[in-house]
Structure 1
């Protein structure tokens, strides 16, 4: 009987220390782990289309029999990694039917538009009020992946960020009058204020995520997606899904991927300082200053470890060696509540108190973040309509 590998599973990481392979299902968002040895056996079976030949191949290196091979085949079918060749068409039809049922007219129009631009967008529509996933763009075999893997782009991007930081700091150190200009900052209205801020924030956000992606690929990341989500049900959020980062053995490389976005934002803020030293119209000077405020605001809150999803949060997770920090902290808070209201008798540990405090601070910072973000969004709008 002929078998095929499910085309919806993509290899996201190969762990050299244990010879484990991690695969992720494209549209079911399911993660599986198998050994390099098991993968080689399955690949041999698919390519040779003969269980006896595959069994002979296994016996060259291992003491195995047909029962062991059948057990591997059965397990691979249960997790849908391996399927019968004649069942592939039915599987694809079921997949297309499910996707079609969930796609509305506007989603279809957006999909066709992105298809025309040769960009494969996939709508997800899954999550909760705190974090709802709308869609993703697989970056595999795209121009963005090609650029990010290029050694010249990687080196030039690092040099450019470092140069902007050095020049920006140098300007602040050797031109004290520049700080006086900042103390005189006033937001001036123009018809271009809102479009300028939207374009500037979209561009800076893209560069922030691209910085994460570039370092991710430099250190062996394989597959990533550009995700579009809603936070708290209404705040649009763009992010890079570095699918395999928490599997990496090298702690230093994981930290560098997380820090890449923050460093890029700092270089943008200081780079705008250089731009503001040029002679320009007072209104445009004001617009660039306000954009700089937005990016600085993002740097500060993105470094806060109490807001899930920020770079600061992931840095704290790395420090505590707790990938699911918010989830574990939520469990600790529930235990604290159970003890406080005497729902059940549980012995609390120091970790429970620490994680419970983390959740309380997290809710406070999240509330402050979105209140301030709403204020920053509303202020330029009202200024733009006031005569």
Structure 2
């Protein structure tokens, strides 16, 4: 029997400084790390289908013995990075059965609809009321990946962001009437207000995430997914999962990926000023102004470092060199509670006190964020009752 590489594992990052490779299982979400030389040995084994030939290659190239080869094969089989060729069909059936068992009828219908246009949607179904992950679409070999990798598209996207910013600022500086128009803003209810806001939210969120994705690919990112989630259990949300960002050596590139979404949102807020300068019905003007307020609200909260998952949070994590900042802070508050009840504060370090303060601020901002977000969403329902 021969070995083959497991097709469910994908290379998500190649770390050149240490010659390490990171692989992620597409449906089990397991992550493994091997060296480049180990990968070369496994590639030789899979290609030549002969352990003895691979052993000769190993001895000549790395001055190693059979025990090293056996350990590598054993580890690769345990992690399922490589599998027996005869077992591939059975494994694929197991995968299909597992996925079908976790799918309800409506999910199966949606999967079939997406399959007709060659889009492999994968349902996840995990999380909590605050942030529930529904599904994801792998972006490998899709039009989104083709566009985001295209150098001309990258340049065009960045130029458009800059133009929207400067044009929007120009409207404010050189048109005094524009400021007065904003001071007279009033929210006008209409049947299209809610669909308009939800559509604007989805489109602007998608563009925000696409900006992250474009810069991610520009700086060498490999694998990413387009995720669909619900915030507060009912607010639709799209996001890009950049699987390998925290492995990157270059901090400046990591920061650029994080800032891309914030800059895109700022350009949208300022770019909407172009529409507001057009002559249009007062009701449409009101809707565009309200959408502008909504995106501005998102920018403010997205920049707050006390809310896990925001761009501000990731920027603070980069500054403190703490990739798992919220989890570290949660660990510190557990230590604080234990020390408090045992009346022994000597075990706490100054860093722990900072983390305790951070986690308390986080709980406050998280509560405020979702309360205000829910208020913004439901406000159009109740606007008709406001005198």
Q: What TM-score does the superposition give when structure 1 sets the normalisation length? A: 0.96
Q: CA deviation at 1:233?
A: 4.1
> Structure 1 CA distance, aligned partners of 2:306 and 2:164?
29
Question: Residues 184-203 of structure 1: matches in 2 within 5 Å?
Answer: 184-203=184-203
The match for 1:259 is: 259
The match for 1:292 is: 292
> Structure 2 CA distance, aligned partners of 1:331 and 1:230?
27
Say if 1:139 and 1:226, in contact at 8 Å, map to a contact too.
yes
The match for 2:95 is: 95
- SS of residue matched to 2:222: coil
Q: CA deviation at 1:99?
A: 0.9
> Structure 2 CA distance, aligned partners of 1:12 and 1:227?
17
- SS of residue matched to 1:22: strand
Superposed CA deviations along residues 319-352 of structure 1, whole A, max 9, x for unmatched, are: 1111111101000011111122227766111111
The match for 1:122 is: 122
The match for 1:65 is: 65
Pairwise CA RMSD: 1.6
The match for 2:314 is: 314
Q: Does 1:28 align with 2:32?
A: no
> Structure 2 CA distance, aligned partners of 1:94 and 1:128?
27
> Structure 2 CA distance, aligned partners of 1:76 and 1:129?
37
> Structure 2 CA distance, aligned partners of 1:338 and 1:172?
55
> Structure 2 CA distance, aligned partners of 1:224 and 1:116?
22
- SS of residue matched to 2:62: coil
After superposition, the Cα gap between the structure-2 partners of 1:380 and 1:233, relative to the gap in structure 1 and judged at 3 Å, is closer
> Structure 2 CA distance, aligned partners of 1:60 and 1:287?
71
- SS of residue matched to 2:220: coil
Superposed CA deviations along residues 17-48 of structure 1, whole A, max 9, x for unmatched, are: 00000000000111110011111111111111
After superposition, the Cα gap between the structure-2 partners of 1:286 and 1:234, relative to the gap in structure 1 and judged at 3 Å, is closer
Say if 1:329 and 1:359, in contact at 8 Å, map to a contact too.
yes
The match for 1:326 is: 326
- SS of residue matched to 1:318: helix
The match for 2:49 is: 49
Q: What TM-score does the superposition give when structure 2 sets the normalisation length? A: 0.96
> Structure 1 CA distance, aligned partners of 2:209 and 2:161?
14
> Structure 1 CA distance, aligned partners of 2:374 and 2:347?
41
After superposition, the Cα gap between the structure-2 partners of 1:69 and 1:138, relative to the gap in structure 1 and judged at 3 Å, is same
Q: CA deviation at 1:60?
A: 2.6
Q: CA deviation at 1:229?
A: 2.3
- SS of residue matched to 2:270: helix
Q: How many residues align?
A: 387
- SS of residue matched to 2:18: coil
The match for 1:279 is: 279
> Structure 2 CA distance, aligned partners of 1:251 and 1:118?
36
Superposed CA deviations along residues 286-334 of structure 1, whole A, max 9, x for unmatched, are: 1110110111111011111011111011101111111111101000011
- SS of residue matched to 1:27: coil
